[in-house]
């Protein structure tokens, strides 16, 4: 009932806005919270770019969004967020062809065994952390040209149990626990958001916990949790509510950039008395390492 009690304090007018003429990019938009967010933005007249990995599922999602909202300005881009070269290529092409006001980093994965991508990257890290890092930094120049530019990253309350660990980003040491690796990636997203907010003052950055929602990802990655909790999970639309609020409302940008949100409110990024705080040098180190990784996969295009 967390959503029900929180939503009593919401102002419905915050999200009853017309965003025609504004351009939104949503990663992982063919199901779950990504699709629910894309649909609500489309309903409000926004131009929506769906970035998805699976072409067939993405086409079905696009069709559904167009049919339900009557909005024809829905565009599909097939990109594997665990493949850094593909993200760079996409971002460079996108910058030449489109404008962008709001980037929503929603794509994520929780792989429960240690799998490597073709580039030799651990898959959760490649998608959740490096993929988010490259997509954002590659599109920052485009966002800097836009009015009221925003970046929203969908993290998770699971990150509260993790302290930033920059010494083992690929989870190669010790026993591999997919849930904890995912939580560590989500902590990394919070740190990235805080760092970006300091570096890019004319873009509004935020990161959020959608609450535990009944999504295909939760069903497939956390089956035991799903079975235990399925009667109290949020709907996809409820999980997407704060993403939508951060993306379209005027209220969101009245708050400082770089905060962590749940149910339209900024909330602490650490539990009381938790040993999860990191020294600033660890946070800077994360950004340096991600920048090195990111440049390694950036192809130098001729000319």
Q: Give the tens place of pLDDT for each residue, 37-81.
A: 999 999 999 999 999 999 999 999 999 999 999 999 999 999 999
Q: What is the pTM of this model?
A: 0.94
Residue 9's pLDDT band (cuts 50, 70, 90)? very high
Residue pair 246/207 in contact by the 8 Å Cβ criterion? no
Q: Give the tens place of pLDDT for each residue, 266-279.
A: 999 999 989 999 99
Q: Which domains does the chain have, with CATH numbers?
A: 2-296 (3.40.50.720)
- Let me know if 133 is a catalytic residue: no
CA angle 39, 42, 44 (to 5 degrees): 115
Cα 106 to Cα 200: distance, rounded to the nearest angstrom: 20
136 phi, psi to nearest 5 deg: -70, -55
Find, among 197, 158, 204, 195, the residue nearest to 290 by Cα.
195
Query: Among residues 3, 182, 226, 275, which one is catalytic?
Result: 182
Residue pair 106/52 in contact by the 8 Å Cβ criterion? no
Beta pairing partners, 50: 26, 76
- The torsion of the CA quartet 177, 180, 186, 188, rounded to 10 degrees, works out to -90
Find, among 71, 84, 67, the residue nearest to 41 by Cα.
71
Taking residue 98's Cβ as centre, other Cβ atoms within 10 Å add up to 14
Cα 186 to Cα 162: distance, rounded to the nearest angstrom: 9
Share the mean pLDDT of the chain: 94
């Amino acid at each position: 009932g967390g959503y029900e009690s929180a939503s009593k304090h919401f102002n419905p007018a915050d999200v009853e806005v017309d965003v025609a003429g504004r351009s939104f990019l949503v990663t992982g938009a063919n199901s779950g919270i990504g699709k629910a967010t894309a649909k609500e933005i489309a309903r409000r007249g926004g131009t929506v770019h769906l970035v998805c990995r699976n072409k067939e599922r993405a086409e079905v999602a696009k069709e559904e969004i167009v049919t339900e909202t009557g909005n024809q300005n829905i565009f599909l881009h097939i990109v594997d967020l665990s493949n850094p070269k593909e993200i760079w290529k996409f971002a460079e092409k996108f910058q030449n062809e489109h404008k962008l006001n709001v980037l929503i980093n929603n794509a994520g994965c929780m792989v429960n065994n240690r799998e490597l991508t073709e580039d030799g990257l651990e898959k959760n890290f490649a998608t959740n952390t490096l993929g988010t890092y490259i997509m954002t930094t590659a599109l920052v120049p485009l966002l800097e040209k836009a009015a009221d530019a925003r970046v929203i990253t969908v993290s998770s309350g699971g990150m509260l149990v993790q302290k930033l660990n920059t010494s083992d980003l690929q989870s190669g040491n010790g026993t591999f626990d997919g849930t904890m690796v995912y939580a560590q990636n989500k902590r990394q997203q919070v740190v990235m958001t805080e760092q970006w907010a300091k570096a890019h003052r004319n873009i509004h950055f935020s990161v959020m916990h959608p609450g535990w929602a009944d999504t295909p990802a939760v069903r497939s990655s956390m089956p035991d949790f799903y079975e235990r909790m399925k009667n109290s999970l949020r709907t996809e639309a409820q999980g997407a509510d704060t993403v939508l609020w951060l993306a379209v409302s005027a209220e969101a940008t009245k708050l400082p950039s770089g905060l962590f949100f749940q149910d339209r409110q900024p909330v602490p990024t650490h539990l009381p008395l938790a040993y999860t705080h990191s020294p600033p040098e660890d946070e800077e180190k994360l950004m340096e390492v991600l920048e090195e990784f990111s440049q390694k996969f950036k192809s130098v295009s001729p000319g």
